[in-house]
């Protein structure tokens, strides 16, 4: 996207679930100020009834925003414990909130449920930034406009890769280096465009010939119709004339 020079001409950025990450959402929303129409990896899974009704999922736990604590499906309370940070191999930093099960629950049974099999207090990690982006993307994908935009991707983008694999047998590049790979893919796309251009010309020629044949057939039918009309017109002219009398008959009648 940093190399794309037409960012001002569109508002939405569409991709498949493989690109639905916190880093990509951060770049698209905060840096480029665009709306991502990119489902995250678990988006389809989270839409299913089984996931929504699964009490073991922390997303389905009861949350108290005022006191900042969770209560799981067993009734164990997890209070905010501390903040945490992590950095991946690409240098992207993520912020987490750690929630730990309270040592003193409402009952002795809950005290036992608040511990792991090893005897330690249970804890959970929450990424507020990631949850915010997920909610924003979910709203975009569930809207009528978002559905229409994402549906078009299947017709606008996917066939290109399918044609490259099927018609040209290109499944991966065999070169190294960004410049070499760009040239390799560029030649493949150029060949694909030339193929589509040739098919378009062929369709135009076929349509032109069909239209020409249709025009000739229409012209022939028009000639026949004109001849019939002329013939009928001549018959009307002949029938409308008074009967012819010879000069002799006319003279006798006059006398």
- Domain coverage including residue 127: 7-156
Beta strand extents in the chain (DSSP E only): 12-14, 35-37, 62-64, 69-71, 77-87, 93-101, 123-126
pLDDT the model gives residue 254: 46
Which residue has better confidence, 223 or 31?
31
- Whether residue 236 has pLDDT greater than 70: no
pLDDT (tens digit, 9 = 90+) per residue, 12-25? 888 888 889 999 99
| For residue 154, pLDDT beyond 90 | no
pLDDT the model gives residue 82: 95
Quote the pTM value. Answer: 0.64
CA 62 from centre of chain: 34
129 assigned to some structural domain: yes
pLDDT score recorded for residue 221: 67
pLDDT in tens, 61-93: 999 999 999 999 999 999 999 999 999 988 999
Q: Is position 47 within any domain?
A: yes
Q: Please check whether residue 146 lies inside any domain of the structure.
A: yes
What pLDDT shows up at residue 112? Answer: 94
Q: Which residue has better confidence, 153 or 243? A: 153
Please say if the pLDDT value at position 193 is more than 80.
yes
Q: How far apart are CA 29 and CA 193, in angstroms?
A: 33
92, part of any domain: yes
pLDDT digits (tens, 9 = 90+) for 110-124: 999 999 999 999 999
Asked, for residue 44, whether it belongs to a domain, the answer is yes
| Average pLDDT of the residues in 151-179 | 77
* Sign of the torsion angle spanned by Cα atoms 211, 214, 218, 223: positive
Tokens of 30: 């905060």
Distance of alpha carbon 179 from alpha carbon 105, whole angstroms: 62
Please report whether residue 172 resides in a domain.
no
Task: Tell me if 167 is assigned to some domain.
Answer: no
Residue 134, in any domain of the structure: yes
Domain count for the chain: 1
Q: Residue 237's pLDDT is what?
A: 55
């Amino acid at each position: 996207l940093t190399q794309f020079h037409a960012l001002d001409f569109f508002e939405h950025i569409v991709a498949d679930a493989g690109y639905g990450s916190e880093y990509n959402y951060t770049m698209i929303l905060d840096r480029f100020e665009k709306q991502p129409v990119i489902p995250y990896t678990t988006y389809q899974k989270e839409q299913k009834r089984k996931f929504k009704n699964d009490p073991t999922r922390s997303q389905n736990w009861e949350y108290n925003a005022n006191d900042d604590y969770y209560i799981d499906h067993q009734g164990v309370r997890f209070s905010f414990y501390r903040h945490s940070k992590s950095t991946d191999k690409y240098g992207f930093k993520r912020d987490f909130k750690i929630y730990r099960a309270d040592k003193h629950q409402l009952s002795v049974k809950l005290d036992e449920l608040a511990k792991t099999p090893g005897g330690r207090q249970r804890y959970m990690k929450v990424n507020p930034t990631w949850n915010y982006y997920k909610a924003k993307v979910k709203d975009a994908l569930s809207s009528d406009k978002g559905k229409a935009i994402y549906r078009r991707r299947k017709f606008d983008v996917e066939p290109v890769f399918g044609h490259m694999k099927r018609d040209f047998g290109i499944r991966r590049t065999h070169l190294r280096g960004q410049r070499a790979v760009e040239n390799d893919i560029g030649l493949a796309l150029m060949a694909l465009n030339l193929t589509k251009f040739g098919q378009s010309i062929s369709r135009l020629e076929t349509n032109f010939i069909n239209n020409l044949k249709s025009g000739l057939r229409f012209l022939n039918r028009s000639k026949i119709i004109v001849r019939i009309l002329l013939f009928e017109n001549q018959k009307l002219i002949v029938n409308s004339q008074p009967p012819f009398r010879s000069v002799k008959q006319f003279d006798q009648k006059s006398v």
